[in-house]
Each structure stands twice: as C-alpha cells, then as structure tokens.
Amino acid sequence: MKYLIYIITINDNIYIGSTLNLKKRFETHKKMYNKKSTRKLYECICLNGGWHNIKYEIIEELDCESTVEARIREEYWRCFYNANMNTRKAHVTEEELKERVKEKNDRNNPINNPKRDQTTIFCNCGGHYLTFNEKYHLKTKMHNNFLNSYLNNI
C-alpha cells in the first residue's frame, strides 16, 4: 500500500499526518474544521484566517505492508519536526502502552489515590454509590425523587 506522510504548517505551527488517500483525508480535516472541533489543528486554522491560509506538502511516500509501519514513520517525522499541533503520538510501542496502563492503574488504585476510595455508601434514597461517585449519585433520578418527596412531606 502506498502511504503519504504530509505536513501542514500554519505560521510556526506544525501538524504531521499520514494517509492512503490525501484528498479524502483533507476532506475529513475540513469537515472537522467546519464542525468547530477543539483539536489544536482546527483551532489554529480558525485563529489564523481559515482553511485557505494553511500550507501543506507531502514529505514522504511509503510502500508499507501495514498501517503500523506508516504510523511508525509518521511518528518519526512528528518528532523530527517537533510537531506542536498533533495531540497524540502516531505510534506507541508496546513498552509505552504497558507503561500507560500501569500509570492509569496506579492512578485508579485507592492506595495511591485517595480520591478513588472504594467505600460503598448507602443513601437514604435507597441507592448506593462508591465514595468517589457521590456527585453523580446526587444527580440521579432516584435521589432527586427521594428529595422531592421528602421536601413535599415537610
């Protein structure tokens, strides 16, 4: 498959992408821009006069067996140009992925993060929730019905 790695520049801002079909990919970029997406690329386009003010060029054409190969190469170019409008890496190694999962698990572990306390609270409304979910429980229909009936009986 023939992948294209492209660069979009807006003033000093850089975005790196890859695609099999450049025309289709740019149509998707334009749709996201028109939907007022909050991603850095589309905000930058908006702040700098719109879509007609961007510059782009193909920086590499690749014959790849898989999308993974193209993403690895895209990641190379993203780092090479220090692309500041890409919101995430194009490719993550297995080691990086394992580290991300470990960090997420550590954040969610109540021992490491007291905000993730797993204590079950039983509410007067008849419902129950974990300590860190209290604000969501207080907005539930069950809880609000209980409050309304309680207030009506006072």
The CA-atom distances, in angstroms, between 80 and each of 48, 59, 146 are: 24, 12, 59
Per-residue pLDDT band for 149 (boundaries 50, 70, 90) equals: confident
pLDDT at 113 over 70: no
- How does pLDDT run across 5-26, given as a tens digit for each residue? 999 999 889 999 999 999 999 9
Q: What is the pLDDT of residue 110?
A: 61
Q: What is the pLDDT of residue 13?
A: 93
Kindly report whether the global pTM for this prediction surpasses the value 0.75: no
- How does pLDDT run across 44-90, given as a tens digit for each residue? 888 888 888 889 999 999 999 899 999 999 999 999 999 999 988 88
**CB burial string 17-48: b at 16+ within 10 A, e below:** bbbeeeeeebeebeeebeeeeebebbebbeee
Task: Name the segment(s) of the chain with CATH classification 3.40.1440.10.
Answer: 2-91
pLDDT at 109 over 80: no
The CATH superfamily assigned to 2-91 is GIY-YIG endonuclease (3.40.1440.10)
Amino acid at 133: N
